[in-house]
Amino acid sequence: MCPRPTKPRHCCCPFSKRAFKPVGIPMTELRRTVLEADELEALRLCDLEDLTQEEAGKRMGVSRGTVQRIIYSARKKVILAIIEGQALILEPGNTEEKT
């Protein structure tokens, strides 16, 4: 049985490929953690704009439960990159730009 296809998430956050890394260590020497556009958008909506997970889900076109899973994953990745000194790579995922 195949898993259900991922529903596109609507993202308003301008997203271009970027990386954040510790100072003084070349990128080639760092482990990398990838943060996808939907994870950044969920963090922006819930943590920066103080929306509830339900409100964020409506804006992103997904359920509250999906937002909860996205935020959990995103927060774990961000803290892992900070604590372990990894490069945090921002990449587009299964998203649709929403203006």
Residue 94 has pLDDT above 60, yes or no: no
Overall number of domains in the chain: 1
The CA dihedral of 83, 84, 87, 91, to the nearest 10 degrees, is: -70
Please, what is the average pLDDT of the chain?
A: 86
Domain limits for position 32: 17-94
Residue 92 has pLDDT above 80, yes or no: no
Inside any domain, residue 8: no
pLDDT on residue 42: 96
Inside any domain, residue 10: no
Inside any domain, residue 11: no
pTM of the shown model: 0.78
Residues in the chain, how many? 99
- Give the integer Cα–Cα distance in Å for 81 and 34: 9
Q: Is the dihedral of CA 76, 84, 93, 98 positive or negative?
A: positive
CATH number of the domain to which 71 belongs: 1.10.10
Inside any domain, residue 6: no
Inside any domain, residue 3: no
pLDDT in tens, 33-44: 999 999 999 999
Which amino acid appears at position 61 of this protein?
Answer: G
